[in-house]
A and B are shown apart, each in its own frame.
Chain A
Amino acid sequence: MNRITLFLIAALYSMVVHAQETFPVNGVHDERHVVHAFTNAQVFVGNGESMENATVLVQNGRILGISSSDTAPAGSVKHDCTGKTIYPSFIDLSCGIEVKKSEKPKSKKPIKPQTKAGNWNPAIHPETAHRFKEPLKKKAEESWMSSGFGIVNLHERDGIMRGASNVYLLGEPQPNLKLIKSEAADHFSFSKGTSKNDYPSSLIGAIALIRQTFYDAQWYERQGVAKEEKNASLQRLIDRKETTNFFELDNALSYRNVIGIGAEFSMDFIMIGTGMEYKLAEEIPAGSRFVLPMNYPKAYDVTDPYSSRMVSLNEMKHWELAPFNAAILDSFEIGVALSRDTIKSAKEFLMKLQKTVNVGFDHDQTLKALTTTPAIWLGIDSECGSLSAGKLANFFVGNTTFDQPTFKVESHWIRGKEAYKANREFADMIGAYNLVIEKKDFVVQVKTATAKGIKATIETEPKGQKMSVKIGRTNDLLTLNIFSNDSIPELLYQLSGKVSFKEGMWDGRGINGAGDWVDWAAIRDRNTEVTTRQVAEPGAKNIPERTYAYDLAQDSAKQTTTFVITNAVVWTAADTGILERADVYVVDGIIKSIGKDILFPSEVKRINANGRHLTPGLIDEHSHIGIRGGVNEWAQSSSAEVRIADAIDPWNINVYRQLAGGVTTAQLLHGSANPIGGQSAIVKLKWGRGADEMLIKNAPKFIKFALGENVKRSNRRDPGSRFPLTRMGVEQSFLDAFVRAREYDEQRQDKDFRKDLELEALVEILNDERNITCHSYVQSEILMLMNLADSLGFRVNTFTHILEGYKVSDEMLAHGVNASTFSDWWAYKFEVNDAIPYNAALLTKAGVNTGINSDDAEMGRRLNQEAAKAMKYGGLSEEEAIKLVTINPAKMLHLSDSIGSIEVGKSADLVLWSGNPLSVYTHAEKTFINGELFFDHSDLDDQLLQMKNERSRLIKEMIEDKEKNKTKPTMKKEKHMHCDTVLENYWEQ
């Protein structure tokens, strides 16, 4: 028995199964079991295998078999595929077809009444499934099929918990056959989409909402059937624990949030990437799975040297590196599938596809990422994603392999039927023809010939008199209209005919100008040269260096954390004060000894300070740099559930700029738009490292509170109706929150206990496990919060801004609160009218632990100058002044055992200054964090030179780039956030 027979038996078996259907038939049953044979093709069966001169047999919509011979069995319909390729249909996991356009929310209310028994927040609707009401738009389906896709996974791209997707076949008209897997996967994102609810208004809010919803589902499940509230959304989350989950990222950096949520709730998410994941390849855990978009950016129009400054080096690098995304992730053993995503035209997709292969993700890997990988991830690999007996006959025939620029999908077969056929190309017609009509000779030259039109010229022979001709072609039938070359053209001949002898001859009949029928014929002149456009063979490219603006030199000498700084004026910010000409010996990032004649091994690396000044790394107690997706979750009066640590942006240039100003540690705070803000993140400014490395491990827990005009929304054009709008209401917001928190804590043992992330954070405050940093200005509100705290039995840790602190310094001292203030800001709003630059000095003299903070990316670069103002205004000494930005904030942050001063045993967070650190005539020379050199002023020239060279190389490449409609250079101005910064909805940015 040969192979084909074996396949036939298998097919017969499956045929019986297929014969049954639920639909009644009108008329005589029409079952067709005829085999179609696609012969002589190069067949890519999947799993990286391909067969030359193979024949694919198809019957009843499924693959009957593939044989390596080029013969078709008798009784089959033969499709000659000589020289052609056959690929399994591509599968798009994140298809851009039918993307719901996000409407802008029209009416806004703090909390909208719920209209259906689902989740309270309209962005949470996991119970929705993709509604298959009618076939997808035919044009879109054709476009997708013409780019190789036959199977799409569709979901409604709206909201945070978006519901389930269905898997459909393209080009299949019969709905019951079109749907091949319903509710195949569940979809999530951080974007609230069309939800009209104000909450969440930020990325951190979206993350908190997702976590809370999963906790709610756990609570809902624990209650069993006896539950009071019926909630379709939560029920759905319980029922669907084991499905495949897709999570669409808003930013490559969000991968760590998805992984965090996955770890917290034992879930596995396939991430739909943004195209910039390559930048994080080293830190993304191996084995993670990504669906990668292929809409690589176009080159920028950098023809003007001034305008090209609007494009940053990092944006240029993204243009260069984006096509390598898949190849880079794959090399780090990260699972990769590819998606056409939102690329509108098939032609563009094919171009990007070739670009992908061109840059090192080879043909077979690319094919896998479009076929077998997505099939496995969706759990449809038994039917789709590869070509073998028994699987659905979903495949396309191409003229060549898809990595070739001339590649074209000629036909696409879904369930064994031709669902798409490319318009016929008439390229073969191009050439010269000798035309004879009524014994007159003409020469016709066909210049271009496509389905859209044929362009040709005509002239008489031998005189060369020009005329014009219109040629139309349908299949093999032709029409020719020949006109005179007069100013008003006269129709000379109206001809009809056929193409025969393999494009070698046209002939037929027609009517001449006089209305008489005439015969005509044209014979091809094979001697005339046929010119076709040559497409250059693309050469494979190596992965370019992943270098960015202000990259740090990676030489090991700089990374050594054992060294000694000699001959420095050491501002210890400790009891020892300022030491003249002292040495500081650092071992493994820890200060080992300090003094004039300290001992250290002779081989230790020495940095001679030559009398320059050394201080502890500066600490910015109040900063909003390096936060993405909004600093304020403002929609509710308490947002204790949100965590700034979720939104660290280590790529923000301000991180490096502040290092250059000597700042080593910063508390990144939630904004001040609501009385109870979010949980802070305390970071070390380790430029070039990931968010997780920046966050101080086991740092004390903090939360932001706020009082006054921001909370009251006083300075907004439309304050809206969110409670509170007065200082009276602010007090009650706090009281209410803590009363609820206390009640909550007492319920912990209840069976019905529902974990509430907001109240958890508040309970931590009551239990002295979380510290408050409270934005405050006027004395009345400062007293109010301290009174309230006293009455509830907790302590306010820090008042930040605290510009009227000098009026209540005794009360503050009694409460034991720290003060973190501005040096000299005032007059920007009514509540700062009594702010005075003497505040820091007065508070310090009263005994309150006081610091100076920035709240501003610009000011954060020169905190040393700001500290100096406390000498000018109020007469603090140099020693006292430097403490305002070192040990004092360290104490406020409960980190003074490891940072804030130069003392033995502390981390070597150090700044070497060019002169007196409190002078404007000084800059930071070197900034160390844990003994590592993160900023070196002497590197700046090299960094700028490297950036200049890299920019000019990329500008040259972009100018030479052939792609049309280049992107106009515009500048993405980096976000500059203060605590007032309120985004209505960060996704609209």
Chain B
Amino acid sequence: MGKRLIMLVFLFGWLQGWTQSPTPGQKNDKKILIRYGTAHVGNGEVIQNAYLAYQGDEVTLLADGNKVRINVLEYDSIIDIEGKHIYPGFILMDSRLGLTEIGAVRATHDFDEVGQFTPMVRALPAFNTESKVVSTVRTNGVLMAQVAPIGGRISGTSACVHFDGWNWKDAEVKDRSGIYLNWPTSYRYQGWWAEPGASKTNKKYDSERRELKRFMDEARAYSEITQQVEVNLRFESMRGLFTGDQALFVRVNWARDILDAIQFFRNSGVERMVVVGGAEAHLVATDLRENNIPVVIDRVHKLPVHTDDPLMQPYQIAGQLIDSGLVVAFSTSGDMEAMISRNLPFQVGTAVHYGMPYEEAIKAMTLNPAILMGIDGEYGTIESGKKATFFISDGDALDIGTNKVVSAVIEGKSIQLWNHQIGLYEKYKDR
């Protein structure tokens, strides 16, 4: 009886408050054991009869109940989730969540700063924990994101956040989780988002590349002196790239541009490079693998870039890159990127149907992004000693009909699975 009661509180605890956005989770000091579920660890492994225990903000146990005997008496509460699935909180890369609220209202945009080289602007202090959009994303299992600026040549510095907290300091997982760079495009679109005109060869490609070269060379030279007399904020924020503390996330799509970017950064002093977008990455997969460059796929649900492409090319690319031995993660950047974030699991589910192994797909939303941001010591998998950030779904989280997140925990705190859309639903369903 006691346990069942706890289960109810655990699942429906969020009913406590009907505010603008859900109240952040309460600190938990109990030893909690969740058992009998199917655990997708995040590193490619699955445990069918899993015992997951956590205390405070840390996972204390993840074990296969068929192999290890667990002393249940050690735990303050035990929750049985037979038939349900446990996943590490999904992590979305290159996101504008919390940096934007309403697409058409410019006042709500905080992601594109003035200037071509603005590595010093950082996303973290602009992240809005009251975002209504964010609360609609975490109810589908997306619990963390890399929020990143866009625009310019070097857009700025991204941050890794989770989706629970009173303010951005609470939400911070890692400030400076990578610098974002837009590689010059050899082909440039005309027109606007809904009505792109013909593309043209970018005649400024070489000059843009030269300008970038100069900036990168100077940033590297600057970084060789630890204590600069005259501080340049731009170059200061680039230091992490040359020490390997931060990865350089390069938004680049055309195969030739990817090759050129690889050549460019090979001797630039940048320790870690990640391709973001990579619409044609499958054509240069060998080069990417040889240079250990991971790919963040910008979104699965999009149209093929060329008329002649296989109809399902955007659905297939994740599987193709995995087959080529690349490390893959996902973003949903593009039109309506913030609100579409909640469909990340289904986009990746589509990629699974088109050839991506299921557990690799989970890994691409959990461990892989954690590695790219250098937070895999504490995040990205459900493992003893790591942060307790996971969710429980009634069924397969990657399919629309079965993704029912009944419980979600961020750093040990059980979060309210409520959002203002559910509020409106509740309000009007009985009108």
A973 B311 Cβ-Cβ under 8 A: no
Give B318-348 as 1s and 0s: 1 = Cβ < 8 Å from A's Cβ atoms.
0000000000000000001011001100100
Interface check A858, CB cutoff 8 A: yes
Q: Name the A residues within 8 Å of B339 (CB-CB).
A: 824-828
| Nearest residue, chain A, Cβ from B198 | A972
Give the contacting residue for A975; candidates B196, B346, B352; CB below 8 A.
B196
Interface check A951, CB cutoff 8 A: yes
Give B392-431 as 1s and 0s: 1 = Cβ < 8 Å from A's Cβ atoms.
0000001111011000000000000000010011001101
Interface residue stretch chosen among A153-161, A269-277, A610-618, A829-837:
A829-837
A829-879 residues with Cβ-Cβ distance < 8 A to B are 829-830, 833-834, 836-838, 842, 845, 857-859, 861-862, 865, 868-869, 871-874, 878
| Nearest residue, chain A, Cβ from B347 | A920
| Nearest residue, chain A, Cβ from B338 | A827
| Nearest residue, chain B, Cβ from A947 | B308
B336 A827 Cβ-Cβ under 8 A: yes
Q: Name the B residues within 8 Å of A284 (CB-CB).
A: none
Interface check B104, CB cutoff 8 A: yes
B311 A981 Cβ-Cβ under 8 A: no
Q: Name the B residues within 8 Å of A227 (CB-CB).
A: none
B346 A865 Cβ-Cβ under 8 A: yes
B425 A972 Cβ-Cβ under 8 A: no
Given known pairs A653-B307, A968-B201, A970-B187, the reply for A871 and B400 (CB within 8 Å) is: yes
Interface centre among B189, B259, B306 (most CB of A within 10 A): B306
B311 A656 Cβ-Cβ under 8 A: yes
Give the contacting residue for A872; candidates B254, B256, B403; CB below 8 A.
B403
Given known pairs A828-B339, A918-B400, A921-B349, the reply for A971 and B104 (CB within 8 Å) is: no
B256 A827 Cβ-Cβ under 8 A: no
Interface residue stretch chosen among A207-215, A308-316, A322-330, A750-758:
A308-316
Interface check B200, CB cutoff 8 A: yes
In the bound complex, CA of A304 to CA of B350 (Å): 32
B100-124 residues with Cβ-Cβ distance < 8 A to A are 101-105
Given known pairs A827-B339, A872-B401, the reply for A940 and B104 (CB within 8 Å) is: no
Interface check A715, CB cutoff 8 A: yes
Q: How far is the CB of B200 from chain A (nearest CB, A)?
A: 5
A806 B428 Cβ-Cβ under 8 A: yes
A641-696 residues with Cβ-Cβ distance < 8 A to B are 653-654, 656-657, 660
Interface check B245, CB cutoff 8 A: no
| Nearest residue, chain B, Cβ from A716 | B104
A973 B189 Cβ-Cβ under 8 A: yes
Q: How many residue pairs bridge A and B at CB < 8 Å?
A: 169
Q: Name the A residues within 8 Å of B429 (CB-CB).
A: 838, 842, 845
Q: Name the B residues within 8 Å of A857 (CB-CB).
A: 303
In the bound complex, CA of A876 to CA of B392 (Å): 22
In the bound complex, CA of A824 to CA of B339 (Å): 9
B272-286 residues with Cβ-Cβ distance < 8 A to A are 280, 283
Interface check A815, CB cutoff 8 A: no
Q: Name the A residues within 8 Å of B304 (CB-CB).
A: 657
A825 B336 Cβ-Cβ under 8 A: yes
Q: Name the B residues within 8 Å of A977 (CB-CB).
A: 194-195
Q: Name the B residues within 8 Å of A307 (CB-CB).
A: 186, 256
Give A807-832 as 1s and 0s: 1 = Cβ < 8 Å from B's Cβ atoms.
10110000000000000111111100
Given known pairs A865-B400, A918-B401, the reply for A833 and B199 (CB within 8 Å) is: no
In the bound complex, CA of A504 to CA of B105 (Å): 85
A989 B400 Cβ-Cβ under 8 A: no
Give the contacting residue for B346; candidates A837, A920, A923; CB below 8 A.
A920
Q: How far is the CB of B31 from chain A (nearest CB, A)?
A: 33
Q: Name the A residues within 8 Å of B399 (CB-CB).
A: 919-921
B195 A827 Cβ-Cβ under 8 A: no
Given known pairs A314-B307, A810-B431, A868-B401, the reply for A973 and B102 (CB within 8 Å) is: no
Given known pairs A306-B283, A970-B199, A971-B199, the reply for A874 and B353 (CB within 8 Å) is: no
B200 A970 Cβ-Cβ under 8 A: yes
A834 B194 Cβ-Cβ under 8 A: no
Interface check B4, CB cutoff 8 A: no
Q: Name the B residues within 8 Å of A309 (CB-CB).
A: 255, 280, 306, 308
Q: Name the B residues within 8 Å of A919 (CB-CB).
A: 399-401
Interface check B302, CB cutoff 8 A: yes
Q: Name the A residues within 8 Å of B2 (CB-CB).
A: none
Interface check B17, CB cutoff 8 A: no
Q: How far is the CB of B85 from chain A (nearest CB, A)?
A: 15
A973 B196 Cβ-Cβ under 8 A: yes
| Nearest residue, chain A, Cβ from B258 | A306
In the bound complex, CA of A872 to CA of B103 (Å): 25
Give the contacting residue for B103; candidates A809, A810, A828, A972; CB below 8 A.
A828
A868 B424 Cβ-Cβ under 8 A: no
Q: How far is the CB of B190 from chain A (nearest CB, A)?
A: 9
| Nearest residue, chain A, Cβ from B100 | A827
A869 B400 Cβ-Cβ under 8 A: yes
Q: Name the B residues within 8 Å of A989 (CB-CB).
A: 191, 195, 197-198
Q: Name the B residues within 8 Å of A837 (CB-CB).
A: 421
A306 B255 Cβ-Cβ under 8 A: yes
Q: Name the B residues within 8 Å of A653 (CB-CB).
A: 307
B256 A304 Cβ-Cβ under 8 A: yes
| Nearest residue, chain B, Cβ from A869 | B400
In the bound complex, CA of A918 to CA of B349 (Å): 13
| Nearest residue, chain A, Cβ from B311 | A660
Give the contacting residue for B336; candidates A304, A314, A828; CB below 8 A.
A828
Interface check A381, CB cutoff 8 A: no
In the bound complex, CA of A975 to CA of B198 (Å): 9
Q: How far is the CB of A307 from chain B (nearest CB, A)?
A: 6
B197-216 residues with Cβ-Cβ distance < 8 A to A are 197-201
Q: Name the B residues within 8 Å of A312 (CB-CB).
A: 306-308
In the bound complex, CA of A842 to CA of B331 (Å): 31
Give B205-241 as 1s and 0s: 1 = Cβ < 8 Å from A's Cβ atoms.
0000000000000000000000000000000000000
B104 A858 Cβ-Cβ under 8 A: no
Q: Name the A residues within 8 Å of B312 (CB-CB).
A: 660, 923
Interface centre among B187, B201, B311, B431 (most CB of A within 10 A): B311
Interface check A50, CB cutoff 8 A: no
Interface check A248, CB cutoff 8 A: no
Given known pairs A656-B311, A974-B307, the reply for A836 and B187 (CB within 8 Å) is: no
Interface check A709, CB cutoff 8 A: yes
Interface check B310, CB cutoff 8 A: yes
Give the contacting residue for A827; candidates B103, B306, B346; CB below 8 A.
B103
A827 B102 Cβ-Cβ under 8 A: yes
Q: Name the B residues within 8 Å of A833 (CB-CB).
A: 102, 132
B335-379 residues with Cβ-Cβ distance < 8 A to A are 336, 338-339, 342-343, 346, 349-350, 352-353
| Nearest residue, chain A, Cβ from B342 | A824
Q: Name the A residues within 8 Å of B305 (CB-CB).
A: 971
Q: Name the A residues within 8 Å of B174 (CB-CB).
A: none
Given known pairs A871-B400, A971-B187, the reply for A858 and B425 (CB within 8 Å) is: no
Given known pairs A868-B401, A970-B187, the reply for A654 and B303 (CB within 8 Å) is: yes
A838 B400 Cβ-Cβ under 8 A: no
A920 B308 Cβ-Cβ under 8 A: no
Q: Name the B residues within 8 Å of A947 (CB-CB).
A: 308
Interface check A340, CB cutoff 8 A: no
Q: Name the B residues within 8 Å of A968 (CB-CB).
A: 201
14 contacts between A and B (CB under 8 A): A306-B283, A313-B307, A657-B304, A836-B421, A838-B421, A858-B303, A920-B349, A920-B350, A920-B399, A922-B353, A968-B201, A973-B197, A975-B196, A978-B194
User: Which residues of A are interface residues toward B (Cβ below 8 A)?
Assistant: 304, 306-307, 309-310, 312-314, 549-550, 653-654, 656-657, 660, 709, 714-715, 806-807, 809-810, 824-830, 833-834, 836-838, 842, 845, 857-859, 861-862, 865, 868-869, 871-874, 878, 918-923, 940, 944, 947, 951, 968, 970-978, 980-981, 983, 989
**Known contacts A313-B308, A865-B400, A968-B201, then 4 further A-B pairs from the complex at CB < 8 Å, ordered by chain A residue:** A656-B311, A657-B304, A845-B429, A921-B399
Instruction: Across the A-B interface, give the 10 residue pairs with the lowest CB-CB distance, nearest first.
Output: A829-B104, A920-B349, A828-B103, A827-B339, A868-B400, A838-B425, A836-B421, A715-B104, A306-B256, A306-B255
